[in-house]
Every structure is written in C-alpha cells, then in structure tokens.
Amino acid sequence: MTEKQDQSSAEAAVKNCYSTWADNYHRDYYTDKAAYPPVHEALVRKLLVDAGVRNVLDAGCGPASMLRGLAGLGIELFGFDLTPEMVQEARRVMPPLGVPENHIWEGSVANPAAFRAPGTELAKFDAAICVGVFPHVPVELENAALANLHAAVRPGGLVAVEARNQLFAMFTLNRYSHQFFLNDLVREEELFKGEQASVRRQVLDELGQRFRLDLPPVRGGKAEEPGYDEVLSRTHNPLVFREKFAAVGFRDVRVLFYHYHCLPPLCERSVPELFRQQSLAMENPEDWRGFFMASAFVVTGIRA
C-alpha cells in the first residue's frame, strides 16, 4: 500500500467515524453537559490573546467547537475540517457569531492547499491551532502536517497543536498502560526474540495481571460507523513531540498540559465528587506532574 493509499484509507475511516457526531460533538465536549469541563478552551484563548493575533486558522475545526469559544475576541476566524458533516454544522453555527460561511471549508491537514483560505487575499495567518486531529494522523504523514502548519503562519506566527498524552499511560494502570509497557518500554518483539513461546507467555501473563485490561471500555460508533477507538487514535509522547516541533522550524517550543487526573481513572467510580473536584484543582499547564497525570497536552511554537 502506498502512502497516498494509507492516507486515503485513514481519512475515509475518520470521516466515517465523525459523520454522526456533527450535531452533538460540541455539546458533549464543550458545554456543561461534558464529562469534564473544556479547560483547553481557556488555554487556547489565552495563548491567542497574549500573542495579540488578528486572525487564526483552526485546522480540523470540527463543528467549530473551539471557534465558537473564540468569537467575540476581535479575532478573524477561519477553519477547515475533513468531515463534510462537520463543515456543514460549522457553517450553520458560525454566521450568527459574525463568521462568514466561506471562512469554513473542507480539507485535510496532510494537504498544503487546505491551509489557504478560499476566496480571500489572506496569504498567511497570525496563528494556527489544531485540536483533536493528530491522534488520527498516520505516523508517516505527521511531519508533513506539522510542516503545513508551520508554512500556514507568518514569521513570528503562533502554532498550537493538541495531542493525547502517551505518558499518561504510566499512571492509568489499565489497558493503555499494558500496551505502553509492552510496545514502547520493554518492546516485546525485541525482548523475546529467540525465546521459547512458553517463556514469553509466562512473562506476559504475569505482567498482564498487574493491569485492568478491561478498562477503559472500547468506544464504538452510534450505529454501523466505527467508533473513536476503532479508527486510528494515537497518543503522543510530549517529549518526542516537542522535538518534532523544533525540527520543523519552530522556536520557543512549549508543552502545556491539561485534563488532569488526581488518581488513576479506575478510581473515579469510588470517589466521583472528590475525583472531579481535585482533578480540576490540579489544572496547571506547566505542572511537571502533567507529564504523567494529564491525559492531553498542547505544544506551542513560534515560526522563526
């Protein structure tokens, strides 16, 4: 399979997954109906205000979930998304907030042409954000997507990319931890090369007993479409991702953490009120504990 076929296959699966989320994604993740408050919304808003940007591109804007929260700041808003249903919803909700329909279009972060606003003379943006997208970007296309974000902003422009924190698996004690231990730390295939199958099985069985392999439940789709855990939904090591940012040409690269967990998630059911209250109290983008206790992070950089 060629890289183009890989991209096409991955994008088709993601489109299918998100096709039924357009009307409730914002409600489920960005309102008081959300399981956890959208603390990253305030984080992104502060980054843009502090940078004094006049315009921003949301690459992978979904149903304009983040853009809705940026309306009213005096910033010209633009966005594109891979999924047609998401674009349609964004075009429905943004005009009443002062954003023209042609400021929202369909496109892929892997395609450089998607980063140019159609029908406008704007060549470069003051800032570009990308939230909820990189988990779905295949490894082989990641550098291209970062390069596209870098090219989309003017020199001195800000780029902020959100990702799921791979190192959070060191804290969760569930199937994510088990996968991280086997695939990224001990590197099972290398460790047991040449060993008898019985030895490998014995060690893996013992290790598996240390984790709750039934948690978290696999997230399926609403109907026949694949769910979030049934399409490519990668996590990223913030240490490695920071290096990739620098390699593309960003300066002043920072890692900012959010969605903290005061205890491993499997403990939430026992003390739900304490869990929520203390987790929210921990929210500090620059706390070193975020490397392990926050499930997500934002990497920011300035185009040199």
Q: What are the tens digits of pLDDT across the range 141-192?
A: 999 999 999 999 999 999 999 999 999 999 999 999 999 999 999 999 888 8
pLDDT digits 0-9 by tens, 189-228: 888 888 788 888 999 999 999 999 999 999 999 888 999 9
Mean of pLDDT values over 125-134: 98
Residue recorded with tokens 């791979």: 166
Three-class SS state of 251: strand
Domains and CATH numbers, the chain: 3-166+218-303 (3.40.50.150), 175-208 (no CATH)
pLDDT exceeds 60 at position 3: no
Using a CB cutoff of 8 Å and minimum separation of 24, what contacts does 44-51 make?
44/69, 44/70, 44/129, 44/131, 44/160, 44/298, 45/69, 45/70, 45/73, 47/127, 47/158, 47/160, 47/298, 47/300, 48/73, 48/75, 48/127, 48/129, 48/158, 49/73, 51/126, 51/127, 51/158
Residue of 175, 157, 276 whose CA lies nearest to 219: 175
Residue recorded with tokens 């769910």: 227
Give the model's pLDDT for residue 119: 85
Mean of pLDDT values over 88-107: 97
Mean pLDDT for the chain overall: 95
Confirm if 88 and 23 have CB atoms less than 8 A apart: no
Give the model's pLDDT for residue 1: 44
Residue 117: φ, ψ to 5°: -70, 120
Which pTM does this prediction carry?
0.94
- Going by pLDDT thresholds of 50, 70 and 90, the confidence category of residue 2 is low
Give the model's pLDDT for residue 223: 81
Give the model's pLDDT for residue 111: 97
- What does the alpha-carbon distance between residue 152 and residue 128 come to, in Å, rounded to a whole number? 7
pLDDT digits 0-9 by tens, 260-282: 999 999 999 999 999 999 999 99
Higher pLDDT, 223 or 109: 109
